[in-house]
Structure 1
Amino acid sequence: MDKKILQPVSYPTKGACGPTGTWRSQRPVYDAALCNGCLLCWLFCPEAAIAREDRLINYDYCKGCGICAVECTKNAIAMVKEEVK
């Protein structure tokens, strides 16, 4: 039996106002050493800003909602205050 891979419903895309990552007040930081590869962060990210293969976060589209950090069972994602540039 072939296994089907679940895919997010959407892909990150530039909106009418440009990339939406500038809305963040906090950013998720991923620690690969703690990750067990369960892909819950990727599955639950409402912006599809997390790459399935390596869990790299596309900060151009991540709004900093923190859902990925809440869903991570291994605490491999921590929310930190966004630095003002």
Structure 2
Amino acid sequence: MSKRMNITPDSKWKEYPIGGEVLDAGNAADFKTGDWRSMKPVWHEDKCKHCMFCWAVCPDMSIKVENGKMVGIDFDFCKGCGVCTAQCKFGALDFVLEE
């Protein structure tokens, strides 16, 4: 039985779930959290060696991969932590202000 709640602008604070409570396993895909970011990674495909170190360290699984190669960044979920850019040893990722 799912405890998922649809929170709307009309929801009352007492109806909100307790903070930090996971109401439904695997529900991260339901919430686009990319608008939290103030900085964002920029991918330079021509410098990328497809080593996948950025993918391995991304806490949000925002590095898009197809056929074993990086193909871009999912900005719907990238929160701009910069871990991927710090890990890239080839200069394929820059970290810039979100505009």
Same fold (TM over 0.5): yes
Distance 1:82 1:42 in 2: 21
Between Structure 1 and Structure 2, the one with more helix by share is 2
Q: Counterparts in 2 of 1:18-37, with a 5 A limit?
A: 18-37=31-50
Once the two structures are superposed, residues 20-42 of structure 1 have per-residue CA deviations (whole angstroms, 9 ceiling, x without a partner) of 00100001000011111110011
Name which structure has the greater RCO, CA cutoff 8 Å, separation 6+. Answer: 1
Between Structure 1 and Structure 2, the one with more strand by share is 2
Residue 74 of structure 2 is aligned with which of 47, 53, 58? 58
How many corresponding residue pairs?
70
What is the percentage of aligned positions where both structures have the same residue? Answer: 40
Question: Which structure 1 segments of 5+ residues have no match?
Answer: 1-9
Distance 2:71 2:59 in 1: 14
* TM-score, normalization by structure 1: 0.76
Aligned residues: CA RMSD: 1.5
Question: Which structure 2 segments of 5+ residues have no match?
Answer: 1-25
| Residue 70 (structure 1) aligned with residue 83 (structure 2) | no
Once the two structures are superposed, residues 19-75 of structure 1 have per-residue CA deviations (whole angstroms, 9 ceiling, x without a partner) of 100100001000011111110011110000111223310000000000000000101
* TM-score, normalization by structure 2: 0.66
Aligned to 1:79: 95
Q: Which of these two proteins has the greater Rg computed from alpha carbons? A: 2
SS at match of 1:46: coil
Aligned to 2:52: 39
